A and B are shown apart, each in its own frame.
Chain A
Amino acid sequence: MTTTAQTMTAVALDGLCDGFADSTHQAQQVFRRVLAAMAEPGTVHSLEPGNAPAPLSSAAYQICLALLDQETPLWLQPELASAAVVNSLRFHCGCGIAHRLDKAAFALITANGDCSLAAFNQGTFEYPDRSATVIVEVRGLDAERGENCGEERSELVLEGPGIRQQRRVRIDGFDAGWMQRLADNHALFPCGVDLILTCGNQLMALPRTTRATLIGQEH
């Protein structure tokens, strides 16, 4: 069959940010770090520094470039849905923007938004894999160090698959409300969403299997 390569019409898109210079290898490298993060919840992984359309972090942007395409509707919290973000992701990933939370395969939210995790697709008992993956922009991430961090940093104890006994992490911006959301989400297993937390060029994952408690409140 005769086919012609899609010719990109040169349209000036508002705030368009570069994609990967070498999509094959950069996407692979980003994926491997996300995979390592998902496999060992609470571990912090750094991506190569790179540009991102404001207000997205570089890590969140790179994860989108690596994983999204026309098959993955994306829901954006309004604060993140700048023209630059929407245009860049549409152009590089070809992903559609979901207008309903429960229709999204991926979502981009911020930790200080009041977005309920339960509003996203939770999957079903037959197909729990169909649930959403939620990328949460946080103000800071730390794994098992940084004792003298700011007071508002919550120190968490994590347990579950991928964690040998326990892992301690600090997540800047996770308040009591978030702890409740994590607990509710975990209780839905095998359903529930999976979280990827991002900050700057760093990321950490909290899949649905991870049980999180605030230090001092465990048991």
Chain B
Amino acid sequence: MYVAVKGGEQAIDAAHQWLAERRRGPKETGELSVSQIRSQMRLAVDRVMTEGSLYDPELAALALKQASGDVVEAVFLVRAYRNTLPRFLYTCPLDTRTMTIQRRISAAYKDVPGGQVLGPTYDYTHRLLDFTLMANGDAPQGPEPATEPLEACPRVLEMLNREGLIEGPDGQTEQSPGNQDPEPGDITRDPLSYPADRSVRLQALARGDEGFLLALGYSTQRGYGRNHPFAGEIRYGQAAVEIAPEELGFPVVIGDIEITECDMINQFGGNQTEAPRFTRGYGLGFGQSERKVMAMALVDRALRARELGEELSTPAQDEEFVLSHCDNLDSSGFVSHLKLPHYVDFQSELVLLRQLRREFQQRSEQRSPSSGQVSSESKQESEA
């Protein structure tokens, strides 16, 4: 006797309960606190903030805890929460020139004003599992780090710009400090439309999936849209966030956020009328997110191909392809939706497929009455 599947509600409740147990793990192990995650899993927290598009280390840590460490799931939790927050004001543009530096390197010059500051980085660690972390959790004490973080140091690309060797940050050829940037777009308010301007592209990339951008950025290094990048400068530290309420008439600082910024120096252009100069790509993320901002800078530069008069032939240069597939809420949602029931559509396909096979068999029988057998691998194709 067949009984239709019922009780979806109880099934969902039971699944959630089970999930909660699995998230907590065995009771003998200590519960992971949000502050532990925030301070000891900070790079995961930074990624969740960047792709979650919300600067709040505590909520990002909570999301990681709730998501059992699944970063994409945590990003989703943060985005869904962010979406319910009212907007009171827009901040002034961040001035990263005045940021407090914790780490700052340039691969273009041996030394630069302000110096090369290694800061907290995995870069020169030997990737050997450190079993002392497993034993007692205490890392061996290293030398005292530099006590005072560096005060504002000039941007490397600005020094190049002064010489006219590189285009301005906005892609303008003439250095024009008085020039006001155009009002940036906002993809969280207005859906993407193509062609998208650079502010909109950068916003999409900043929220975009690190893995996806990393692969695309990598592809440009391997010849798929090669643009000769040099890491002009990567800086990580605290930048002041300012607002300028109309009734005050001047900006006030409301707090500091940690950011990572990447200026990439790229292949120079130029023609009969314009002197050759380097071009640039830009990346910015919350917290310490170097891999992300470097990948972002490579893709940003690749996406400027049209504007710079380059031939469009590779995935990383394809604005619609990159922007419409870089968001991991979009991609993970749509891939995972294949888990939802599709049996009505599948039934529709079955009905047609059986009919087509019946007709195929009839035709075969008419063609050769003696061998009416149709092999099960007969070449039937149907639209997926």
Contact = CB atoms under 8 A, between A and B. Distances in A.
Interface of A: 1-6, 9, 71
Contacts of B257: 1
A3 B247 CA distance: 16
Contacts of A71: 189
B88 A5 contact: yes
**Chain B's interface: helix, strand, loop or mixed, by majority?**
loop
Nearest to A1: B55
A2 to B, nearest CB: 5
The 10 A-B residue pairs with the shortest CB-CB distance, nearest first, are A3-B88, A2-B254, A6-B88, A2-B255, A1-B55, A1-B255, A5-B88, A3-B89, A1-B241, A1-B254
B170 interface: no
B318 interface: no
B158 interface: no
Interface residues of B, number: 10
B320 interface: no
Contacts of A3: 88-89, 254
Interface string B246-280: 01000000110100000000000000000000000
A85 B204 CA distance: 40
Contacts of B247: 9
Given A1-B55, A3-B254, 14 more contacts: A1-B56, A1-B241, A1-B254, A1-B255, A1-B257, A2-B254, A2-B255, A3-B88, A3-B89, A4-B88, A5-B88, A6-B88, A9-B247, A71-B189
Nearest to A127: B193
16 contacts: A1-B55, A1-B56, A1-B241, A1-B254, A1-B255, A1-B257, A2-B254, A2-B255, A3-B88, A3-B89, A3-B254, A4-B88, A5-B88, A6-B88, A9-B247, A71-B189
Interface of B: 55-56, 88-89, 189, 241, 247, 254-255, 257
Contacts of B189: 71
A71 B89 CA distance: 15
B188 to A, nearest CB: 13
Nearest to B85: A3
A95 to B, nearest CB: 16
Nearest to B190: A71
* Chain A interface SS verdict (over half): loop
B45 to A, nearest CB: 16
A93 to B, nearest CB: 16
Contacts of B56: 1
Most buried by B among A3, A6, A71: A3
B123 to A, nearest CB: 30
Nearest to B91: A1
A6 B243 CA distance: 13
B148 to A, nearest CB: 26
A157 B89 CA distance: 49
Nearest to B189: A71
A59 B189 CA distance: 28
A1 B242 CA distance: 11
B15 to A, nearest CB: 33
Greatest chain B CB density within 10 A among A1, A3, A4, A6 is at A1
A5 B247 CA distance: 14
Contacts of A1: 55-56, 241, 254-255, 257
A63 B213 CA distance: 45
Contacts of B89: 3
Contacts of B254: 1-3
A190 B210 CA distance: 41
Contacts of B55: 1
A1 B253 CA distance: 11
A71 B189 CA distance: 10
Contacts of A9: 247
A71 B87 CA distance: 13
Nearest to A71: B189
A10 to B, nearest CB: 13
Nearest to A3: B88
A3 B56 CA distance: 13
A88 B190 CA distance: 27
A89 B93 CA distance: 30
A27 B98 CA distance: 46
Contacts of A6: 88
B200 to A, nearest CB: 16
A130 to B, nearest CB: 11
A6 B55 CA distance: 21
A9 B257 CA distance: 30
A120 B58 CA distance: 49
A166 to B, nearest CB: 37
A2 B89 CA distance: 11
Contacts of B88: 3-6
